[in-house]
Structure formats: C-alpha cells, structure tokens
Structure 1
C-alpha cells in the first residue's frame, strides 16, 4: 500500500445515461457527473467503491469526467432495474472476482415473496486489486438488499398485515443471505492469503449494506469479535473493523430518511488498515431528507447518500 491512502464508498443513486432524445435528462446527467467528479477529486480519493451505477457506460462517463489516470471496473451482475456496483481508482486496477452465488457453506437458498427460491445475490459484489504501492489493496464493493418491500407479482403494497410481516421477513432473509455470502467469501480469501495468522494484503469491504453498524447483517461481516485491536490474536487473519464506528457523533450518518439520519454506507477494513486510520468522515453537507417516493428524485443532481471517506497513513 502507498504511504497514504484515501478510500471512498458512495451510493450515487441511479446513475443512468439518458435516452438520446431526452434533453432534460441529459442536462441533469451531465450536471450530476460534474458534481460527482468534483467531489471525488476534491477529497483526493485514490479509490472509490460505487453503488447504483446504471451501466458500463455510466461508469466510463464518470471515469472520463475524472480524467487520466482514473480506471474503472464494473460488475457484470446488475439487479432487475439495471443498477450494479463498480470501482474507480487512479491507480492500476485488476478485477479479481465477481461474487454472485449464495455459497453452499453459507445460506445457499432462501425463499422470496413469489414462492421461488433465491440462490444468488440480487446485485453481484465485486472484488478488485488496486496497485497503489507495496502489496497493494484488495477492495470489495457490495450493495445488499434494501429495506424497501415488494409483494407477490411486484406489488409495492400488502393486501393485509400478515403479508406485510412476511414481506419484511423475506427482505431480511435475503439481506442476511447476501451478507453471509460476502463473509464466507472473505473467510476463504483472507485465510488463503494469511501469513503467520495475519492478513496477507490490506483489505477493505465497502458498500451500501442497507443496515446500521449494529444490525446483525452488518456485524456478521466484521467476523470474529475483538477484545483489543492493539493486541494480536488468532482472529486477525479474517477479522474486519467497521470504520464507521470512528465517525464524529455529529456526522455518523450517510442518508437522511424521513428526517432521521442513518448510517447504512460502510467501510470495513483489516487490522493493519484500522491501525493506520487517520480520519473517517461522512460528507453529509449536501444531502437532504428523502421519503419512500422516488419520483421527486428523477432530476436530482446530488445523490441521496453521502460519500464516506477513510484516510490512512503509511
């Protein structure tokens, strides 16, 4: 890893290129790219984990707005709306893994509201290697199932309270299975690269986890509990630390939903990076409160999530 490293995660909210004939949408898209690129460049970020990228073109357009030497790697597995994760970096990038299946050693099959069985993540996760000096950086980005509920046939409303309860349960099951899939992947990846019980390469997991830092779906991604970060133990090889726990209390959120701040965008890091952490910030100044309706967001330039930025020293 380079002597100093800045890592960002950001859900950029439905970054879709417009239709060629929609001039109004084209103006909004251009303004949004300018905003995104300006904020990323202003932080000095080395690598950015992105969620809600609408297509390969959208990622390339943002890369072009940042200019040289930025590079992009994009997930091949979007959800039904076409949104996916991606990584941008101003260092050489190598794709290492596209993570999609719910593994046999995790929760390999969960039910959904239509009576089907889910065997894959709704949105694929992505693992890359960032060549930023030394051994480099291993980075994973993910976007887990949201708390927005759907019901049989794609309905957005329940027919009764039993169905509402089932819908919430199905959503939680899916988000849990996706978090377990990531943890199983990390267990294998980190353990395989461990040297004398320590991670072989600095590693971060970034993304919109759609749950707070104390939710079980987030906590299980940290791996084994740690009594003292300053004392090495046998869990260090696979453990991650949620850097959001170091956010200033006044800025410990990344989205404002119906007037309430919530931290659902996270950066989790291996022990070596945790010990090198200088600051972590959520850049919340520009975001505003949102509600359940998405129609009012169609012409929004500023995403509904704030970027979370971690700075490390060598």
Structure 2
C-alpha cells in the first residue's frame, strides 16, 4: 500500500430494492442510493464494509451508483429478514471466505430462544482480499446480534418478566457466540503467517458489532491485551486494535438511540495498520435520534447509523 488507504464501515439501514409498482418507495430508494454513493465518493474511500444490504441486487445498485471501477462481494447468508453484509471497493476484490458456522473451538453449544442450540451466525460474515498494492488487505465485515429481543416462535413481546430476562440473556449469548466465532477465525488466519515465519497481511475486521468499544464482546475481538503498541511482543501476530478509541470525543458515536450517542460500528485493525493510523472520524452530521419503533423509518434517505472512516498512511 504505497498510497494512503481509506476504509469505511457503514450500516446503511435496510437497503432493499423496492417493488417496481411502488412509485414512492422507488423514489426513496433512488434518492438513498444517490446519498450513499455521494458520501462514499466524497470521503475518497477505497473499501467500504456494508451492513443491512437487502439483497445482492441492492448491493449491485450501489456498486453501479459508485461507478464502473467499483466491485462488490455480498454475503450469501442473510438473516430471516433478508439483510446481509457486503463489501464494495474501488480496487479488485477476491472473495476468500463466507463465515457462518459457530466453530467447535468457539462456543458451539449456546442455547437459542426456542430451546435448541445455535449452530450459525445470525447473519453470515464475509472475508475478502482487496488488491490495493503490496500484499493487499484482508478485510472481514460482520453484523452481530442486536439488542432487540425476540421470544419463542418469533414473538416480539414477552409473556412475563421471567421471559423478558431470558430473552435478553439469549440475545447476549448469541452476540457473544458470534464474536467468539469471529475471533477464532481471526486466530486461524492471522496465526498461519506467524507460524510460517511470514509477515502478516494487514487485516481489518469491521462492522456493526452492536456493542460499545468497552463491551466484552467488542474487547474479546481485539485478542490479547497490549500495554504498548510501539513495543513488539508475542501477541502481535493475532492482536487487533480499535482505532475508534481515538475518535474526537464530540463525535465518538455512530448512532443516536433515544437521544444518546453510542459507538457500535467499529474498525479493528492489526498492529501494522494501527501504527499507520492517520485519522478516524464518525460522520455523524446527518444522522438523527431513533427509537425502538422503526415504522417511521420506511421513507428515510439518511441511514440511522453514521459511517466510520479510517485513513491509514501508505508505507
């Protein structure tokens, strides 16, 4: 990477291609694509991790709005609502892995709300290689379980307070199991190079992690704790850093929920990239506060999450 590298993560909120017969929805969709493409282009982003893409067709529409030089890779494993993650980049992209299973080395026996055991991430993650010069960049994007609760049979309301407590516990267990699955995957791909005595490929994990920077689920994704990024140690081979800790305090959030800013969209980077971090920002100027109900969001053009953008200096 001889030039600076600009990486963005953005939950674009239910980007579904509308039915052709719904004129109002089609106009909103077109305006939203214009807004998304304009903001992405305006940042000079090289690669963008996306969450809440409604279909491969929607990802293709956004890629086309960005221009012919852009490429896209889309998850083949959406959740029950049909939303999935994707990556778009102005550089050649190669799909490396669709990450879906909870590995045996992780937490493979977590109960689900219906009495069974979880076997897969609720929304599959994707790993790509970005050919942006030198060894390139390995990038993973994920969208972990939200704090929205569901109950047996897909109910959105509990029958009693015991069930509410269990529902909250199940949601936390799922998000934890998903985070551990990603960490186990990172252990594998990052440690392989170290075992072979090779320099590790610059690696980024990003997405909507649905937890703040100090939550256990976020911190465990960083790997071994580090006292000083400038002092090499044996944990460097698998360690990740959260540049979001260096966001300007007044902009250290990516969503406003019921009037309170929260940073739940993250970019985690390996040590070589952390040492080259030039800037990071959360582009919060356009977002507004949201509540638990999403009914008033159907005609929204600006997503409810702000994009987080990191710039890494070239070598």
TM-score, normalised to structure 2, is: 0.98
Contact 1:287 1:305 in 2 (8 A): yes
Please identify, of 12-21 and 149-158, the stretch whose mean Cα deviation from structure 2 is larger. Answer: 149-158
Between the aligned partners of 2:14 and 2:199, the Cα distance in structure 1 is 35
Deviation for aligned residue 1:159: 1.1
Deviation for aligned residue 1:155: 1.2
Between the aligned partners of 2:214 and 2:225, the Cα distance in structure 1 is 13
Deviation for aligned residue 1:196: 7.7
Between the aligned partners of 1:216 and 1:181, the Cα distance in structure 2 is 14
Between the aligned partners of 2:85 and 2:213, the Cα distance in structure 1 is 21
User: Cα RMSD over matched residues?
Assistant: 1.0
Contact 1:49 1:87 in 2 (8 A): yes
Contact 1:197 1:234 in 2 (8 A): no
Partner of 1:224: 224
Partner of 1:11: 11
Contact 1:114 1:153 in 2 (8 A): yes
For residues 231-250 of structure 1, the aligned pairs below 5 Å read 231-250=231-250
For residues 266-285 of structure 1, the aligned pairs below 5 Å read 266-285=266-285
Three-state SS of the structure 2 residue aligned to 1:117 is coil
Aligned length: 314
Deviation for aligned residue 1:234: 0.3
Partner of 1:78: 78
Between the aligned partners of 1:83 and 1:271, the Cα distance in structure 2 is 31
Contact 1:94 1:129 in 2 (8 A): yes
Partner of 1:146: 146
Deviation for aligned residue 1:199: 5.1
Deviations 1:142-162 (A, max 9, x none): 000000001111111111111
Deviations 1:145-184 (A, max 9, x none): 0000011111111111111100000000000000000000
Deviation for aligned residue 1:59: 0.3
Please identify, of 213-222 and 198-207, the stretch whose mean Cα deviation from structure 2 is larger. Answer: 198-207
Alignment of 1:105 onto 2:105: yes
Between the aligned partners of 2:59 and 2:186, the Cα distance in structure 1 is 25
Between the aligned partners of 2:109 and 2:30, the Cα distance in structure 1 is 41
Partner of 2:203: 203
Deviation for aligned residue 1:116: 1.7
TM-score, normalised to structure 1, is: 0.98
Please identify, of 124-133 and 156-165, the stretch whose mean Cα deviation from structure 2 is larger. Answer: 156-165
Contact 1:106 1:180 in 2 (8 A): yes
Partner of 1:34: 34
Over 3 Å counting, the alpha-carbon distance change for 1:231 and 1:80 in structure 2 is: same
Alignment of 1:66 onto 2:62: no
Alignment of 1:47 onto 2:65: no
Deviation for aligned residue 1:75: 0.4
Gaps of 5+ in 1: none
Between the aligned partners of 1:149 and 1:309, the Cα distance in structure 2 is 30
Partner of 1:89: 89
For residues 257-268 of structure 1, the aligned pairs below 5 Å read 257-268=257-268
Between the aligned partners of 1:198 and 1:262, the Cα distance in structure 2 is 38
Deviation for aligned residue 1:295: 0.5
Three-state SS of the structure 2 residue aligned to 1:118 is coil
